[in-house]
Amino acid sequence: MPKLNYLRPKHKQAIEMRWKNSRYKEIAKELGVSLDTVKSWFRKDGFLREAYKNYSDEQELIWKLQEKKERINTLNSSKQQQMATNPLNSTISKIFNRLPQKEKDNVMERFYELTKKRK
């Protein structure tokens, strides 16, 4: 857990539980402390208030970075697919360009027939 080294394990757990939207009552029961104690920890001037804010900010940042990484991976994957098909397209173009015009017309006609059937 980032930047919470100075806290006891129960305090760290309280912060994690609160960040995951656990109610104060649930936190108190899980940690074996009173409900008033948990409430006091998270009050505006409470013992865990600043640590909770830091933890929350860091978790938000981590989430955003992971989301960005996933988007980059998706873009890279698309680019890799495009690069993989480019040599094939180039080869097809070269072969197609070597054909006599009549055969090119036949190929294109057949291509259009096939694409119409798929729709």
Q: What is the pLDDT of residues 24-44, one digit of tens each?
A: 999 999 999 999 999 999 999
Two tokens, residue 95: 């072969």
Q: What is the pLDDT of residues 73-86, one digit of tens each?
A: 787 777 666 666 66
User: Residue 1 domain-assigned?
Assistant: no
Domains contained in the chain, number? 1
Cα–Cα distance measured from residue 4 to residue 13, given in angstroms and rounded to the nearest whole number: 10
User: Residue 2 domain-assigned?
Assistant: no
Two tokens, residue 116: 């119409």
Indicate the angle between helix axes 49-98 and 35-42, nearest 10 degrees.
Answer: 70
The predicted pLDDT at position 18 comes to 94
User: Residue 3 domain-assigned?
Assistant: no
With bands split at pLDDT 50, 70 and 90, how would you rate the model's confidence at 2? very low
Q: What is the pLDDT of residues 62-109, one digit of tens each?
A: 888 888 888 887 877 776 666 666 665 677 777 767 778 887 777 777
Domain extent at residue 112: 9-118
User: Residue 35 domain-assigned?
Assistant: yes
User: Residue 109 domain-assigned?
Assistant: yes
Q: Is 2 helix (H, G, I), strand (E, B) or coil?
A: coil
